[in-house]
Amino acid sequence: MSIPKVVKMVVYPVAGYDSMLLNLSGAHGPFFTRNVTIMWTDEGQMGVSEVPGGPKITKIIEGAKDFIIGSSIGEFKNILQKVRSKFAGVDKGGRGNQTYDERTLVHAVTAIETCYLDLLGKHFHLPVAALLGDGQQREKVGVLGYLFYVGDINKTDAPYIRDDDNSDAWGKTRRKPHMTADSIVEEAEAAYERYGFKTFKLKGGVFDGEEEVKAMKALHKEFPDAKLDLDPNGAWSLKQALHYADEMKHDLFYIEDPCGAENGFSGREILSEFSKITHMPVATNMVDTDWRQMNHALELNAISIPLADPHFWTMEGAIRVAQLCNEFNLNWGVHSNNHFDISLAMVANTAAAAPGKIYDVDTHWIWQDGQNLTKNPYKIENGQLTVPKTNEGLGIEVDLAAVKKAHQLYVDNNCGARDDAKGMQCYIPGWKFDPKKPSMVR
């Protein structure tokens, strides 16, 4: 049996439409960006991946081409090693303070790794989930409903999408403003109707903590059986976090990055104090995002739910985190950013291979649902994604015409890396990011 070789690779910087979602870093702009990579083999197979956008990541993936073209698909681990060493040191600034990741190399490595895994799965007629860690653990993967405060697009001239899906309450409401507790409940109801979520997460760090507590209490009243999470991205001081956590102790199932670094103490040290005092399960995508941070987080017992996004741990790395969680009685979950349906397939396969009891995974897909780059996107039904054991590779067929169109959108709008500060300036002129202040509190 011959082993397929990669003969061509193209990176497509792509853009899609978004709502004006609010967070600690500001407001999402009208477009979100991603890098879609496609590899072709001499047998005509396509392997695909999707990672965060921005030219720095595009450049690294393109800069790895010489290692990739001509390689057999079985060689991928050696190739990833070469990419890591060629580009070591590009991320001098680390992850940064923003709610989103500012690193680049790990995303580029994930882009390359995933294409190879997709190709290997197709070659062996197995889902990617079966190639990761100890193999596929489940077919059904629980997904949470990711709720946001949403700004009013009529307050800006930016070309936000409108009326793109009037098929049901969710399609309509996702482009409308949602700035109050009652409105967040309406959002959740519409999302529940379409997707059947059993867990909801609200992105906080937008309004004063008391207002966000009010929203969580309203959600708990409406969905008493749902598991709830609030994520202010470390905006609160330890003192505030303890106060709000106490107010929500009967409402939340877990809390995410309630506080972070302060007064010379690291985010992990502060979360360790928070965990010891409250005994609440604490999730993070801010202070435990690589193995060095993991070491400190574990020594301090700072958190109990590392949100191991495959986009910044790699797919294999996210599974190593899941194995550790399973052995050490931690809970594994997945973090997300805006994404297309290729990333949805990556997350579904990763979670399907994660051992043990895992938390319902994060996804922003509900805000993009319909903007497909594949001919057969995974569907969220009954709060779950399904990865059939009969799948091959990621289980998706990429729609090249749709990818090229999304690339054109990126080019036509002069898109690049994410900048949430811009969007917020229509509400608060001259708005600037402050990691310790909710974005609407100035």
Among all residues, which ones are annotated catalytic? 203, 335
**Of 99, 114, 350, 368, which one interacts with ligand GKR (CB under 6 A)?**
99
Look up residue 395 and give its amino acid: G
CA distance 86 to 356: 36
CA distance 266 to 283: 16
* Minimal distance, residue 122 CB to ligand GKR, in Å: 31
Look up residue 127 and give its amino acid: P
CA distance 190 to 169: 5
Cα 248 to chain centroid distance, Å, stands at 25
When the beta carbons of 285 and 368 are compared against ligand GKR, the nearer one is: 285
**Closest residue by beta carbon to ligand GKR:** 23
Cα 95 to chain centroid distance, Å, stands at 15
Judge whether 275 and 301 are in contact, CB under 8 Å: yes
Q: Please give the residues from 199 up to 228 whose contact with Mg ion meets the rule CB under 5 A.
A: none
H helices present in 87-125, as ranges: 105-124
When the beta carbons of 140 and 227 are compared against Mg ion, the nearer one is: 227
Contact mark string toward ligand GKR, 194..233, x via CB under 6 A: ---------x---------------------------x-x
CA distance 200 to 366: 12
User: Of the candidates 225, 228, 226, which has an alpha carbon nearest to the alpha carbon of residue 215?
Assistant: 228
Stretch that binds Mg ion, among 79-87, 279-287, 368-376, 431-439 (CB under 5 A): 279-287
33 is in the binding site of which of ligand GKR, Mg ion, none (Cβ under 5 to 8 A by kind)? Answer: none
Asked if 113 is part of the footprint of ligand GKR (rule: CB under 6 A), the reply reads no
* Minimal distance, residue 27 CB to ligand GKR, in Å: 9
Asked if 117 is part of the footprint of ligand GKR (rule: CB under 6 A), the reply reads no
Stretch that binds ligand GKR, among 82-90, 122-130, 189-197, 334-342 (CB under 6 A): 334-342
Contact mark string toward Mg ion, 238..267, x via CB under 5 A: ------------------x-----------
Stretch that binds Mg ion, among 169-177, 230-238, 314-322, 346-354 (CB under 5 A): 230-238
Asked if 103 is part of the footprint of ligand GKR (rule: CB under 6 A), the reply reads no
| 3-state class (DSSP) for residue 335 | coil
* Minimal distance, residue 314 CB to ligand GKR, in Å: 17
CA distance 408 to 85: 33
Q: Please give the residues from 347 up to 386 whose contact with ligand GKR meets the rule CB under 6 A.
A: none
User: Of the candidates 118, 2, 201, which has an alpha carbon nearest to the alpha carbon of residue 397?
Assistant: 118
**CB-CB neighbours of 1 under 10 Å:** 3
Asked if 21 is part of the footprint of ligand GKR (rule: CB under 6 A), the reply reads yes
First to last CA, the chain: 65
Instruction: Supply the DSSP symbol for 74.
Output: G
H helices present in 329-425, as ranges: 341-353, 400-412, 420-424
Stretch that binds ligand GKR, among 125-133, 320-328, 335-343, 399-407 (CB under 6 A): 335-343
**Concatenated DSSP letters for 314-332?**
-HHHHHHHHHHHHHHT--B
Asked if 231 is part of the footprint of Mg ion (rule: CB under 5 A), the reply reads yes
Asked if 285 is part of the footprint of Mg ion (rule: CB under 5 A), the reply reads yes
Look up residue 46 and give its amino acid: M
When the beta carbons of 76 and 427 are compared against ligand GKR, the nearer one is: 427
Instruction: Supply the DSSP symbol for 362.
Output: P
156 is in the binding site of which of Mg ion, ligand GKR, none (Cβ under 5 to 8 A by kind)? Answer: none
When the beta carbons of 95 and 122 are compared against ligand GKR, the nearer one is: 95
When the beta carbons of 204 and 317 are compared against ligand GKR, the nearer one is: 204
71 is in the binding site of which of Mg ion, ligand GKR, none (Cβ under 5 to 8 A by kind)? Answer: none
**Concatenated DSSP letters for 47-64?**
EEEEEE--HHHHHHHHHT
**Of 336, 343, 374, 439, which one interacts with ligand GKR (CB under 6 A)?**
336
35 is in the binding site of which of ligand GKR, Mg ion, none (Cβ under 5 to 8 A by kind)? Answer: none
For CA atoms 269, 275, 276, 278, the dihedral sign is: positive
CA distance 332 to 357: 8
Instruction: Supply the DSSP symbol for 4.
Output: P
User: Rule CB under 5 A: which residues touch Mg ion?
Assistant: 231, 256, 285
User: Rule CB under 6 A: which residues touch ligand GKR?
Assistant: 21, 23, 99-100, 203, 231, 233, 285, 335-337
